[in-house]
Amino acid sequence: MPGSIYTIAGPPGSGKTILAVQFLIEGVKRGENVLLVALDEHPCEMHENLLPMFGEDFDRILVLDGMLEMKSYEKTPLRDVSITRHAEAFGKVFPEIPRSSDMINPELTVSAIQEMIKVIVRNESISRVVIDSVTSLKMFMMTANERISFLQSFLRFLSDLSVTSMVTIQESDFPTVGATDIEYIMSRGVIRLYRWLQNDGFVIGISIDKFRGSDHDENINRIKITPIGLQVLDKTRRADRGR
């Protein structure tokens, strides 16, 4: 739904990015223009890792690389040379990771990233946006109060774009979901992913902590990463987290 925000929270390796990309792929299949803002992993690495899973539909996702140049946080939007950067389809992403000597670029602030997202959404008629991840943005807040204020402002910014947005958050920054959490309050839906160790190795699971306007399964269900993305296992196999 336009203007709605959904949050995916979970530890590293639980499939957050894969699930977020599946959300974008569904938009591509419906003929929509979609955008991924890459803040944790370089687009060429994402292309190498996820193209075999999603095929040519993945190449039609627009990606904005905000990882290498994001260096500081400014409350006042900066209209510097960084804002001239644009989104590129994954199918046109260069295959090599830039060497350290190539990383000397104009400083890109969080406010500049917001400005670029707004321009891309308008110019490309974007209907779905993924921010992967909000945790990387929060790392630039010096105090807890700054982080809370920033996150509230950023989520409101996404809502005002009138697109359907999905943000990912590392579990370490999202230890519990409660009625007072900014993410919980401002998100229409909260999806939590799990990763834990059992006798036969690591397993992953999923639960829907919140989904306004829709009935949903509140249990933790086992999932697995397959060649076509995340899939829920037979629901008779409820997750046992060793409790």
Helices assigned H by DSSP within 83-229: 110-123, 134-138, 144-160, 182-186
What is the third-level CATH fold of 5-195? Rossmann fold (3.40.50)
What residues are paired with 145 via a beta bridge? none
Tell me what the mean pLDDT of segment 7-14 comes to.
91
Q: Which amino acid is it at 125?
A: S
Q: What is the pLDDT of residue 107?
A: 55
Domain boundaries, the chain: 5-195
Q: Quick one: how many helices (H) and strands (E) in the chain?
A: 7, 12
Q: Give CA separation, 50 vs 84, 128, 160, 209, 228, in Å.
A: 27, 18, 30, 27, 9
d(CA 198, CA 9): 21
Q: What is the pLDDT of residue 198?
A: 81
Tens digits of residue pLDDT in 131-188: 998 888 776 655 667 777 888 888 999 999 999 999 998 875 444 555 447 777 788 8
Name, of 78-87, 174-183, 187-196, the range with top average pLDDT.
187-196
Structure tokens at 178: 């409660």
Q: Is the pLDDT of residue 101 over 80?
A: no
Question: What integer best gives the mean pLDDT of the chain?
Answer: 79
Q: What is the pLDDT of residue 117?
A: 93
pLDDT band at 91 (very low <50, low <70, confident <90, very high): confident
Q: Is the pLDDT of residue 214 over 90?
A: no
- For tokens 């110019």, what's the residue? 123
For 73, residues 6+ apart whose C-beta sits below 8 A from its C-beta are: 109, 110, 111, 140, 141, 146, 150
pLDDT band at 90 (very low <50, low <70, confident <90, very high): confident
d(CA 205, CA 199): 16
Q: What is the pLDDT of residue 180?
A: 47
Helices assigned H by DSSP within the chain: 16-29, 43-54, 56-59, 110-123, 134-138, 144-160, 182-186
